[in-house]
Amino acid sequence: MELKADHLGIGYSGKQIAFADRLELNTGQLTGIIGINGSGKSTLLKTLEGNLRPISGEISIGDRSIMDFKQSELAKMMSMVSSRSSISSALTVEEIIRLGRQPYTNWFGKLSKTDKRIVEKAINTLQVSDLKLRYFDRLSDGQKQRVMIARALAQDTPFILLDEPVTHLDMYHQSVVFDLLRTITRKNNKGIIFSSHQINVVLDICDELIVIDEAAIYQRSVQHWLEGDALKGLFPSDHIRFDEATRRFRLK
Amino acid sequence: MFVTNISLGSVGIGLLDTMRILTGSEAVNASHEYIILEYRLPKALSAIMVGCGLSISGLLMQTLFRNPLAGPYVLGLSSGSSLGVALLVMGSGLLGSNLAVFAQSKYAVVLAASLGSFSVLLLVMATLWRVRNTMAILIIGLMIASFTSAIVSVLSYFTSAEDLQQYVFWSMGSLGRLDWQDLGILWTLLMMGIFIFLYLLKKLNAFLLGEEYARSMGVNTKRTRFLMIVVTGILAGSITAFAGPIAFIGLTIPHLARQLFSSGNHFILLPAILLIGSLVMLLCETIAQLPGSSFVLPLNAVTSFIGAPIVIWLILKKQKLIF
């Protein structure tokens, strides 16, 4: 399945902050979004999720515009992991992950056997089964992130969008999350799109890379980015340079 | 609790006798039967309904605004009612005697209070169309409240002592004003509120992750938010109209339920708040009667006496408030 955007202008209250000629995201692909602070990474994710109206252009899933989806149908296509939401401390980990099944349950939210199996699978994939009965706010940041990814996985959508999933994590837990994203993309055939400031890791693990640079959004394969000169100009050159030999950004 | 509340009052009636009268068997004392059926039974029933209604409104507002200090009155509803009643009671004195007679009638007060809270509700809804930000609605509600209470204080400065007294009595809150017909109206509205709450149950749990997550899980957040505000407006508005402003119940009961059951899950909270809300309201009403004496305390003060320490106690005991 494909998540596509054509001539997409993104921004708030009529003011465009960036423009993409064409984006094409596929299931089974891991896509990273990079760009400096304030370049519009979160705005792009929100727009793709359908939480923010595009200024111009159109987003479609499987050739159907997301405007034509009902909210409940869209919830079966895309799930998200946000970095800013304030989550109630009065819910247990299991309750939160079960909420992921909402698009599929009846008005009373009763879980069928299938629902329970999918929840159980998500819990096992993210290795949070020993946290099931804990309250969310008693968890460490790394655990919280795993729980929220498990919730998104339980929603069982072809696409998962994550806004800076490793921001508050130390290096070890960052690598845990990145590893999980890569595994889920391959094993569960998901299309995972995430924004991050960890450019070097993104270059290592992603298939596709979306770069937001000076109000323009480009998408190419990681290979393509590495071969060209495009990455050299991403940051002002006074402090950081791109080292082609090691495929790493380095401090000068 | 229910029977105790009925049996206690300025005239003490034994628990056994109370039971007998309530179950419809041969009355021991005709005047006791009259007191119970025409006065105390409706009052106990209205205590239960008021407790349930305010708790539901409070829980809805806390879930909508994701703010532990939200309650049924954050939208400025009680201030709206107060303004309505103040305008009626104090304004009519200035306008002439015909209106003044009308102002004395109970239904005029109920009508004025309803109109007041309803116009505040409309104002809040109108701002809902313009702003998407939930926090903005909360602030607008608070500002409306300050604005209307400013008008009330100006009015009370120019009004006669008698009219002022009538207004003050209304603002103390009392369940003694409700007759069987009022109870019928309140019952219908309460059932409607509970029905819509049941319809929203699943979506309310999604709201506990924040509106963005709720939307991503398929919840039509605009419509849900609209329904939450309408239910709160109708329940809190009608209760205030009949019984006057009653503080702290709507704020405290959901907290009490959350801490007692260690859960924010609305499937658990709904029965919990209905039960605790009824019990606490009956308790407050019983205390307000000052059993054995002919004095009656303002209900609004009793609920504050009980509500405020409960909230403080919850925070001190639990260290971290589950919310």
Does residue A91 belong to the interface with chain B, where contact is any CB pair within 8 Å?
Answer: yes
Among chain A residues, the shortest Cα distance to B261 is held by: A90
Torsion of CA B243, B248, B249, B251, to 10 degrees: 130
Residues of chain A with pLDDT > 90, as a percent, come to 69
DSSP state of B35: I
Are the CB atoms for B183 and B42 separated by under 8 Å?
yes
**CA–CA min distance A88, chain B (Å):** 5
Long-range pairs of B178-184 with CB within 8 A, sequence gap ≥ 24: B178/B42, B178/B43, B178/B46, B178/B242, B178/B243, B179/B42, B180/B42, B182/B46, B182/B110, B182/B242, B183/B42, B183/B45, B183/B46, B183/B49
Among chain B residues, the shortest Cα distance to A71 is held by: B218
- What ipTM was assigned to the predicted interfaces of this complex? 0.92
Q: How far is CA A245 from CA A207, A228, A242, A249, B303, in A?
A: 20, 13, 9, 11, 73
Specify the pLDDT at position A194: 96
CATH number listed for the domain at residues A2-77+157-251:
3.40.50.300
CA distance B236 to A133: 36
**CA–CA min distance B195, chain A (Å):** 13
Angle at CA of residue B282, ends B277 and B283, nearest 5°: 100
Specify the pLDDT at position A120: 96
Picking from B297, B302, B303, the residue whose alpha carbon sits closest to that of residue B9 is: B297
Which residue in B209, B260, B318 has the most chain A C-beta atoms within 10 A of its own C-beta, making it the best mutation to test that interface? B209
Specify the pLDDT at position A192: 96
Picking from B89, B268, B323, B82, the residue whose alpha carbon sits closest to that of residue A90 is: B323
Binning pLDDT at 50, 70 and 90, where does residue A109 land?
confident
Greatest C-alpha distance within chain A: 58
Could you tell me the mean pLDDT of each successive run of 10 residues in chain B, 323 residues long?
78 77 72 80 92 95 85 81 85 62 70 83 77 77 86 86 83 85 91 95 94 93 90 89 88 92 93 96 90 82 89 74 75
Question: Per-domain residue ranges for chain A?
Answer: 2-77+157-251, 84-156
Beta carbons of B258 and A108 less than 8 Å apart: no
Specify the pLDDT at position B101: 60
pLDDT tens profile A110-122:
899 999 999 999 9
Of B66, B199, B220, the CB nearest to A86: B66
Does residue B119 belong to the interface with chain A, where contact is any CB pair within 8 Å?
Answer: no
Specify the pLDDT at position B104: 63
Average pLDDT over residues A46-61: 93
Q: List all residues 6 or more positions away from B1 whose beta carbon is below 8 Å from its beta carbon.
A: B278, B279, B282, B283
H or E segment to which residue B265 belongs: none
Residue B160: CB atoms within 10 A of its CB come to 11
Specify the pLDDT at position B203: 94
pLDDT tens profile A3-29:
999 999 999 888 999 999 999 999 999
Specify the pLDDT at position A4: 95
- Burial track B139-154 (b if 16+ CB lie within 10 A, e otherwise): ebbeebbeebbeebee
Q: Which domains, from first to last, does chain B contain?
A: 1-72+176-211+236-323 (1.10.3470.10), 74-172 (no CATH)
Q: What rounded mean pLDDT belongs to chain A?
A: 91
Are the CB atoms for A92 and A135 separated by under 8 Å?
yes
Specify the 3-state DSSP secondary structure of A60: strand
Whether the pLDDT of residue A129 is over 80: the answer is: yes
CA distance B317 to A23: 53
Are the CB atoms for A154 and A100 separated by under 8 Å?
yes
- Burial class of residue A52, CB neighbours in 10 A (0-12, 13-18, 19+): middle
Specify the pLDDT at position A137: 86
